[in-house]
Amino acid sequence: MDTARPVFPFTAIVGQEQMKLALILNVIDPKIGGVMIMGDRGTGKSTTIRAITDLLPEIEVVQDDMFNSHPSNIELMGNNVQELLKNQTEIKTKFIKVPMVDLPLGATEDRVCGTIDIEKALTEGVKTFEPGLLAKANRGILYVDEVNLLDDHLVDILLDAAASGWNTVEREGISIRHPANFVLVGSGNPEEGELRPQLLDRFGLHAEIKTVKNPELRVKIVEQRSQFDQNPYKCIDEYKEQQEILKQKIINAQKILPKVTIEYDLRIKISQVCSELNVDGLRGDIVTNRAARAYAAFESRYEVSIEDIRKVITLCLRHRLRKDPLESIDSGLKVEKVFSKIFQFNFSVEEISS
C-alpha cells in the first residue's frame, strides 16, 4: 500500500500559466537558474511547486549515500563514491523520486549547509559530516517559501550553491565539499517586501501570480480543490492520463535539449533587447537563450523560433530591470514593447492584458 501523502495533480491546476511554464523549463534545464514566484496569498504557489515533482522521472542514486550521488556522473557525486569508483569497487544503486526539500523560514546556516563534528575530527582524525538541506536537495528541488523574509546571507548561500552546483563547509581548518545541484524555487508575497535587486537578478526566471478575477474560473478552482480534499485518489486517477502525457513530454525535452540550436541572428536580437532594456551583466542574455532552447525542446523542436523567445523573454528579464530597491517589478509591458520593436513582432491586446 502506498503511504505517501497524495499530491494535487499538476495538470489539474487551473490558470497560473506563467508559474507552471517557469517550473517546467527549470526541470527541463536546471542550469536556467531556478525561479522566483511572487504573488498574492492563496494563489496556489506552494501547491503548484509541490505538484511538479510528481511529473519527474525517478532518478538512480547510490544506495546509502547522503548526497543522492549519481553512479557515474562525477559532477553529481560525493567524494566517497568517487573513491569507490577509483578503487573499482562495486556500487549498489536504487531508484528514488526526485527529492523535494522545504527550507523552513527559521533555518540556521548549519541546518542549510551541514556541520562538521570537530571533536571527532581532532580526537579520532575522522571527518564526520552531518548533512544539511543542501545535501538532501542534490539532484532535486529546493523550495523556499517566503524567500523575501529570509536573511540575505542565507539567500546568498543558496544562490551560490545553486549556481556552482557545490556546497563547501569549512570549520577550524577542516573542509568538506559536496555536490548541491538543485533547482532553487523561491516564493513570496510582494506586500511583505521584495528581494534586493542584486539577489533577484541571480534567479533565472521570475513569475508573477495574480488572483483569478473571473468568477466562473474561481468556482472551478474551488470545486477542484474540494473534490481533491474529499477523495484525493479519485482526483489523481482522473488526471492520470494527462499527467503521463506531460511527464513524457518533459522526459523527451530533457533528451533532445542538447541538440536544440538557436540561430546567430536570434541570439544577436536577444542581446539587443537586453542592451536596450539596460539589463546589467550578461545573465539576462544567457538565461533567455537557455529558456528559449528549453521551450523549443518542450515543444519537440530542434530549432528555436521567434515564438519560443517571445514565450520566455518576459520571465527571463522583467526582474532584471529594477535598479532601485524601492521600485516595483515591471509587469512585462516594457519587455514586450522592446521585444516587439527589435523582433518586429506584434502582441495581441489579449496577450498584453493577461
Task: Give the residue numbers annotated as catalytic, written as ranges.
Answer: 283
First to last CA, the chain: 44
341: number of Cβ within 10 Å? 12
In degrees, to the nearest 5, what angle opens at C-alpha 245 toward C-alphas 244 and 251?
85
Q: Give the DSSP H or E segment for 59.
A: strand 59-62
Q: How far apart are CA 77 and CA 81, in angstroms?
A: 6
Question: 163 CB contacts (<8 Å, ≥6 apart)?
Answer: 33, 202
Residue whose C-alpha is closest to residue 259's, from 209, 293, 224, 219? 293
The cell for 300 is: 519537440
Which residues pair with residue 183 across a beta bridge? 141
What is the SS3 assignment for 271?
Answer: helix
Whole-angstrom CA distances from 69 to 80, 139, 164, 194, 229 are 9, 8, 16, 35, 36
How far is residue 147's CA from residue 211's CA, in Å, rounded to a whole number?
Answer: 20
User: Could you tell me if 60 and 93 are in contact, meaning their C-beta atoms sit under 8 angstroms apart?
Assistant: yes
Q: Which of 285, 309, 288, 286 is nearest to 299 (CA)?
A: 309
CA 79-168-204 angle, to 5 degrees, is: 110
Strands (DSSP E) found in 128-277: 129-131, 141-145, 166-171, 174-179, 183-188, 205-209
Give the Cβ contact number of residue 4 at 10 Å: 7
